[in-house]
Amino acid sequence: MNVRRPYVRRMEPGWWWKNAFLLRYMIREMTSLLVAVYAFVLLAGVFALSRGDAAYRQWLDVMANPWSVAFHGLLLAVFLYHSWSWFEIMPKTLPQIRLGGRRLPAAAITWGGLAATVACCGILLGGTLWLTR
């Protein structure tokens, strides 16, 4: 007997949980939510600044709270992972880059991107410190 009855399997809700590669991908995606959360924290600061000196100082006090400092520490770790995860897949997003007749290896793109980011952050931080000295 020859019966055709193709069986379609549905993806399980926890499909990303059992595979280390997919778990890392989901962590990358979920860390972006915390990036968004921190954007709102900074926006609140800008909003407080627009409402005057007292409001801004109050926001700064909230930021200096030990819970807030711990939250910033956690976010720093999350942001570092988030940034790394994107630079890790950066070679996938670029066409072949040739230097001196040779194809630039993926690791060079990842580390080059990271180095450029660190340099930009350094310039931004240095510039800010210089302007507010």
Partner 1 sequence: MKLEVMRYLPESDPEPRHQVYEVPYSDTGSVLEALQYIKDELDPTLSFRWSCRMAICGSCGMNINGVPRLACRTFLREYFPGPVRIDALAHFPVERDLVISAADFIAKLESIKPYIIPRVERDVSEGEYLQTPLELEKFNQFTKCINCMLCYAACPQYGIDPAFLGPGVIALAHRYNADSRDGAAEERMGQLHAEEGLWSCTAVGYCSEVCPKDVDPANAVNQNKMASALDYFLRFVKPGDKS
Residue numbers at the binding site for partner 1 (CB under 8 A)? 1, 3-9, 11, 15-16, 18-19, 21-22, 25, 29, 89, 91-96, 103
Please give the backbone phi and psi of residue 105, each rounded to the nearest 5 degrees, phi first.
Answer: -70, 155
Which residue, 50 or 93, has its beta carbon nearer to partner 1?
93
Which residue, 45 or 112, has its beta carbon nearer to partner 1?
112
Strand, coil or helix: 79: helix
Which residue, 11 or 42, has its beta carbon nearer to partner 1?
11
Q: How far is the CB of 80 from partner 1 (least distance, A)?
A: 19
Residue count (the chain)? 133
Which residue, 29 or 61, has its beta carbon nearer to partner 1?
29
For residue 52, is it left (φ>0), alpha (ψ between -120 and 50) or beta?
A: left
- Cα angle 126-128-133, degrees, rounded to a multiple of 5: 95
Tokens, residue 6: 């193709």
Q: How far is the CB of 8 from partner 1 (least distance, A)?
A: 5
Q: How far is the CB of 78 from partner 1 (least distance, A)?
A: 19
Q: How far is the CB of 13 from partner 1 (least distance, A)?
A: 11
Tokens, residue 90: 């950066």
